[in-house]
Structure 1
């Protein structure tokens, strides 16, 4: 696993904060585990839309469908991650 990519995705997740955790004071590496599982799957994505789906699936798996929210919540995150890979 590319540790630089994991770190970059962790930082993106924290900055874009799909679960809106930053305002309650979570640490900057709060999304590290999610970033690890997402980066393990980036090879499955042939398009940014597929990456968005993967990201949503991972957040559903880590949390719940209700907390993860709709797939569209991950669109900006997927676009920015796509530029990294």
Structure 2
């Protein structure tokens, strides 16, 4: 399986692959469920292989460790996942 930081880098740098509607699903420990976030609300710092910053629906940004990302969907289709 491709590491999540490599997939996120490919989305950033491969414009042909990055065409479509991407959604990142991460596990929220407080809510105890997978939270779906459009890729447009995910900020990835180049070179950071440990976390990303996610902006929630209310506009608040918080760090999400990359190991808590559990799935990535493209146009509604699951293209990457890790066991919960």
TM-score (norm 1): 0.31
Higher strand share: 2
Higher RCO (C-alpha under 8 Å, 6+ residues apart): 1
